Amino acid sequence: MKRNLFLAPSVAAAVLVGGTQALVAQTEAPSADALLQRMEKTYGAMKAYSDIASARYRNPDGTDGAQAECKVWFVRPGLFRIDAETRRHPGAPPKREVMWSDGETARSWSTASAVTMRPKIQLAGSKMFGTYAYHIPSLLEAGFGGPRRLHQLASPALNGEETIEGVECYRVKGDWLGDPYEVWIGKADSLVHKIAANYKGYALEEMHRSIVVDETIPTEIFNFAPENESGAPRPKSSPVASPKARAAESPKKK
């Protein structure tokens, strides 16, 4: 009986320590690699996505460099549009670049070139846009990019936590082909809210806002026509139908 009384506090302490360790394990941040893999799976599972991104570059001497505002719309499978306006420096004239697919054809256009037919949506090697336009689309669809995507940062490591415009994020730093990167990944949504990078002294800050996941996107978004951009009346929005319904409604090509 004395032995039982003597052991009871030890057993209780062991249970308490074990319970505390389990609680700490539950509240510990995931590893940097786990966060990146979860991020990639989150984008890969989306049926639809849209956001507005802004990118600001800073020159090695500290002056303001190129700027970009970019919109992305995506509906699986096959519907995509990226629409960006860039300036080489804050006072420079804007250049607009668009690449899109209506599910049957892929095209690109810019204020400096006519509409070009493309075999498919391919951002890597397209000689369009900038790095700011690559990471999110290639997370949504691996085929849009090249052999490396954002979740494949080399030597990833956690770099603390930070709230970005009301969203609690993990900060993951790593290496992209020799350049230092940092990605702010939402704790609750596993989405990219901010990217910072440095390319041989040129600093980039990329923000992603107005993120909408798995909601209806009007079909007219993917029927972009440069000739209609001068203020001509645009058709009313209509919801994106299922792939089977779109196939049934599409007129057959002659």
CA distances to 36, 61, 136, 143 from 44, rounded to whole Å, are 12, 39, 11, 11
**Looking at the domain assignment, is residue 169 inside a domain?**
yes
- Residue 138's pLDDT is 96
Greater confidence, 254 or 174? 174
The pTM score is 0.79
Dihedral (Cα; 127, 129, 133, 138), 10-degree rounding: -20
Question: How many domains is the chain built from?
Answer: 1
**Looking at the domain assignment, is residue 28 inside a domain?**
no
Write out the residue range of the structural domain in which residue 170 sits: 44-227
Give the model confidence (pLDDT) of 36-93 as tens digits.
999 999 999 999 999 999 999 999 999 999 999 999 999 999 999 999 999 998 889 9
Which among 113, 83, 85, 86 has a CA at the least distance from the CA of 99?
83
Q: What is the CATH number of the domain that holds 179?
A: 2.50.20.10
**pLDDT confidence bin for 230, thresholds 50/70/90:** low
- Residue 172's pLDDT is 98
- If phi over 0 gives left and psi between -120 and 50 gives alpha, with beta otherwise, what is residue 230? alpha
Give the model confidence (pLDDT) of 130-150 as tens digits.
889 999 999 999 999 988 999
Q: Under DSSP, is residue 40 helix (H, G, I), strand (E, B) or coil?
A: helix
**Looking at the domain assignment, is residue 3 inside a domain?**
no
**pLDDT confidence bin for 96, thresholds 50/70/90:** very high
Structure token digits, residue 195 = 């990217």
**pLDDT confidence bin for 125, thresholds 50/70/90:** confident
Which among 132, 45, 121 has a CA at the least distance from the CA of 85?
132
